């Protein structure tokens, strides 16, 4: 067993015994990355911090259920994603944006724009999507969940998940393409 895994195992044991210093250490090790995860699903840093706080309460409450299979960070990430989804479902300001109409399915082009974006720029564009599109796009493209898994998590059909993902993707491609076109026009002047 490598040193890092052994240290992590010892840290978990201390946390399970209620050691506040170990809990703070575990929080410090994962909080900044997990805040980024939470921020992907909310529209404000304040909401992301609320999700992070609630998520870490769950992490410490259910830490005894962590089996040691897979990375602890991945286990914590799943808790944060589920906490963010629950937050979106419960929070009134997000509820209207989380309604999915499966009757409006349509085919979307699979063309990709021929340009490169900085990761930061793409993340900001994703944050500008309507919350429903943003949530499904993040679950599928960033977190790697399948459409059946997303459907189950969100209480929607697999086809609705696919449709919302494709709409989000189409909107992002449109924004990127329009942005590239505007930059090219500016350079031509």
Is it the case that residue 126 has pLDDT exceeding 70?
Answer: yes
Residue pLDDT, tens place only, 62-94: 999 999 888 899 999 999 999 999 998 888 766
User: Hey, what domains does the chain have and what are their CATH numbers?
Assistant: 3-93 (1.10.1740.10), 99-188 (1.10.10.10)
Residue pLDDT, tens place only, 39-69: 999 888 999 999 999 999 999 999 999 998 8
End-to-end CA distance of the chain: 61
| Nearest in space to 75 (alpha carbons), one of 65, 61, 85 | 65
């Amino acid at each position: 067993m490598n040193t890092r895994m052994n240290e992590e195992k010892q840290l978990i044991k201390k946390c399970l015994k209620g050691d506040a210093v170990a809990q703070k250490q575990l929080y410090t090790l994962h909080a900044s990355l997990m805040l980024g995860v939470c921020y992907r699903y909310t529209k404000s840093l304040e909401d992301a911090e609320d999700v992070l706080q609630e998520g870490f309460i769950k992490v410490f409450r259910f830490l005894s259920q962590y089996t040691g299979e897979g990375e602890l960070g991945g286990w914590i990430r799943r808790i944060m994603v589920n906490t963010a989804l629950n937050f979106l479902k419960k929070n009134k300001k997000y509820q209207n944006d989380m309604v999915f109409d499966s009757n409006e399915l349509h085919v979307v082009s699979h063309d990709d724009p021929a340009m490169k974006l900085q990761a930061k720029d793409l993340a900001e564009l994703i944050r500008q999507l309507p919350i429903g599109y943003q949530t499904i796009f993040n679950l599928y493209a960033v977190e790697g969940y399948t459409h059946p898994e997303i459907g189950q998590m969100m209480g929607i059909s697999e086809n609705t998940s696919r449709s919302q993902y494709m709409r989000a993707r189409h909107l992002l491609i449109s924004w990127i393409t329009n942005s590239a076109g505007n930059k090219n026009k500016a350079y031509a002047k």
